[in-house]
A and B are shown apart, each in its own frame.
Chain A
Amino acid sequence: MLLYALRRLIYLVPVAFGVSLLVFALVHLAPGDPISAIVPPDAPQEVVDKLKEYYGFDKPLPVQYLRWLAVTLTGDFGTSIGTGRPVATEVASAFGNTIILAISATTLAFSLAIFLGTAAAYAKTRIVDRLVTLISLVGVSVPHFWLAIVLVIIFSVELGMLPPMGLGPENATGWRLDWPHIQHMILPTIALSVIPLGVMTRTVRATIKDILNAEFVTALQAKGMNDRQILFHVLKNAAPTCLAVMGLQAGNLIGGSILIETVFAWPGTGFLLNSAIFRRDLPILQGTTLVLAFFFMMLNLTVDVIQTMVDPRIKRG
């Protein structure tokens, strides 16, 4: 098992290089000149050239890539064009904020999905099953940024119950576990959790329904196991499939929360990416995308390893 994880880690090295090349290429192939975004339109040409030289944009692209790769490997992601602060610092704090939101959204979505999906699969009356299917359908079809705006209108504007934006009180410096901060998390968490809730509920329901039809469930009943004991067997059988989908969904939450973070002005990677795109802040774009890509790779690896641990039929050595 450990060997398998290690080997997978080593395989990640060439993949990581490919990813870095891709990230660099995408960012640089996009139209627009990063320098013109930060200097006034009437700035003298020398100043522009100086800035280009300072940030290294005057070199040919392959040289730029190798230079970027070299410094990145030392853990230095460069300096933000927009704020002048180190990219590493900016990305780290944004990533932390995104993770916090993602954890609360996945916890909400997955626990609710496991409950609803299992209930629907076990449901003896059609109403329960239909209701849960409806919930999951709504979950996957409602545009989550629209839901975000609706939530803000209802709970912030109309009822004034919850703050509409930011990660905490005005002069807060970072996220902390206290009531004002949690209040700020509630709406974005709900908005972010609808899609994974819908997808996971569907997956859990279908997987468990399938397993309940398996002969071994009858065999378990035939040897006198009670419903709780059988549920344990069923859940362990459902785990590998559900984990795989959960991994994908969790990954989507990290990368795909740009809209939600923008609506709620949540200072995470999505928010950072959004502003970096408008400012053509290439170092930030590169740094954030790279960190997200690495996170994806690690997440996939983790899911694979856990799956292998849960399901003895998966042979990976």
Chain B
Amino acid sequence: MSALLEVRDLDVTFMTPDRTVHAVNGVSFDVKRGETLGILGESGSGKSVTLRSILRLHPEHRTRWSGSIKLEGVEILTMDRRTLNDLRGQKIAMIFQEPATAFDPVFTIGHQIAETVRRHTGKSESDALKRARELLEMVRIPSPAQRLKAYPHEMSGGMRQRAMIALALSCNPSLLLADEPTTALDATVQIQVLLLIRELQRELDLGVIFVTHDIGVAVEVSDRIGVMYAGKLVELASVEQMVDAPRHPYSRGLLASTVQGSMRGQRLEAIPGAPPDLGEVPTACSFAPRCKFAEPQCVSAPPTLGSVGDSHLVRCVRAEAPA
């Protein structure tokens, strides 16, 4: 079966007036229907930029991109605006880190869900509201009829994120993009929302890309995990492979740091050093300055992504070395 989403050699560069940011440098991955791909990485590693590229949500006039992003074989990066707008929210939907700021504060939750439904289905106002009510029930928001009339600031963080999920699923998308959707929530609420996403994903056979900097969360929700560093995927493997035998020194560092103590909530700061500046296209392994295994050849050329087994990819010259 062919993949639902195919990302190939994605480069994203921002040209701001004072500097250039090479935020994503040659990222490739697939997402299958009904599969959750976790993208794990430190803050600033390019996770959000990668995710937003799939809907082309970057400021158009100062973003350069190349590569290819195909949904069911259809290229998104060169698609015209109208087709893109039809695809946004209908085939691919997105949920955000801060549900408090991702809803328009001056419209009711019901209006904002119904608006999306009407945009893509052409339903009448009252039918759309009916659908919005069903959706709120589906994400298990209590007394949905009243919640439709609530404004975002009148709901708790957890309820808002549920409402955001309802909005995202309103037009039966086949791919859900989740950008750290539980980071802003309290621990208990976080688990509930995670479980809800997992459950809905199975029920609706959704492809999900789940971006997080939280290893515990990534392990819990993902079927496969991609580890991102400085705008590149450095390792891509199934959860089992990643947990049992991470191959990239960066992934190993991340996972080693979580073996002791609880996994969830662990920040990826256990490795000394800081990620590189993204002002230039990397000419060497970006992780080399922080890597305790660094060799001369690591800084002579950027390493390529190589296979080390059954769909297990690693970007490291030492990938073949025993763990």
Contacts and interface: CB of A to CB of B under 8 A. Distances in A.
B104 A222 contact: no
A215 B104 contact: no
A216 B102 CA distance: 4
Contact of A312 (B86, B101, B106, B116): B106
B148 to A, nearest CB: 14
Interface stretch (B21-29, B88-96, B193-201, B255-263): B88-96
A122 to B, nearest CB: 11
14 contacts: A216-B105, A218-B96, A219-B94, A219-B96, A222-B57, A223-B94, A223-B168, A224-B85, A224-B119, A233-B104, A312-B106, A312-B151, A313-B105, A313-B106
Contacts of B57: 218, 221-222
Interface size range of chain B in the complex: 20 to 34
A236 B106 contact: yes
B51 to A, nearest CB: 10
Interface in B112-163: 115-116, 119-120, 151, 153
Interface in B66-95: 85-90, 93-94
A156 interface: no
Given A222-B94, A237-B106, A216 B101 contact: yes
Interface in A278-316: 310-313
A214 B152 CA distance: 15
Q: Which of B85, B89, B106 has the most CB of A within 10 A?
A: B106
Contacts of A124: 61
A220 B115 CA distance: 10
Contacts of A310: 106
Interface of B: 52, 55, 57, 61, 85-90, 93-94, 96, 98, 101-108, 115-116, 119-120, 151, 153, 167-168
Given A225-B119, A226-B85, A313-B151, A220 B104 contact: yes
Contacts of B52: 218
B49 to A, nearest CB: 12
Contacts of B55: 221-222
Contacts of B86: 224
A131 B46 CA distance: 36
Contacts of B89: 222-225
Interface in A217-271: 218-226, 229, 233, 236-237
A221 B104 contact: no
Interface of A: 124, 214-216, 218-226, 229, 233, 236-237, 310-313
Given A224-B86, A224-B119, A214 B101 contact: yes
A165 to B, nearest CB: 46
B107 A222 contact: no
A237 B151 CA distance: 13
Contacts of B119: 223-225, 229
A17 B55 CA distance: 61
B71 to A, nearest CB: 14
A311 B106 contact: yes
B102 A236 contact: no
A17 B102 CA distance: 47
B41 to A, nearest CB: 20
A176 B23 CA distance: 64
A215 B102 contact: yes
A226 B87 CA distance: 12
Given A224-B86, A312-B151, A219 B93 contact: no
Nearest to A311: B106
B151 A219 contact: no
A224 B90 contact: yes
Nearest to B102: A219
A146 B151 CA distance: 49
Contacts of B88: 221-224
B106 A219 contact: no
Q: Which 5 pairs between the two chains have the least Cβ-Cβ distance?
A: A223-B89, A224-B89, A224-B88, A215-B101, A222-B94
Contact of A223 (B93, B101, B151): B93
A216 B104 contact: yes
A311 B87 CA distance: 31
A146 to B, nearest CB: 37
A213 to B, nearest CB: 10
A236 B105 CA distance: 10
A54 B5 CA distance: 93
B153 A313 contact: yes
A215 B96 contact: yes
Contacts of A218: 52, 57, 96, 102
A216 B103 contact: yes
Nearest to B120: A224
Contacts of A221: 55, 57, 88
Given A124-B61, A224-B89, A312-B151, A237 B104 contact: yes
B116 A223 contact: yes
Contact of A222 (B93, B120, B151): B93
Nearest to B101: A215
A128 to B, nearest CB: 13
A249 to B, nearest CB: 22
B105 to A, nearest CB: 6
Given A220-B104, A224-B89, A236-B106, 7 more contacts: A215-B102, A221-B57, A222-B88, A224-B90, A225-B115, A229-B119, A312-B108
A219 B103 contact: yes
Nearest to B98: A215
Nearest to B91: A224
A215 to B, nearest CB: 4
A299 B116 CA distance: 37
A278 to B, nearest CB: 50
Nearest to A212: B59
B105 A237 contact: yes
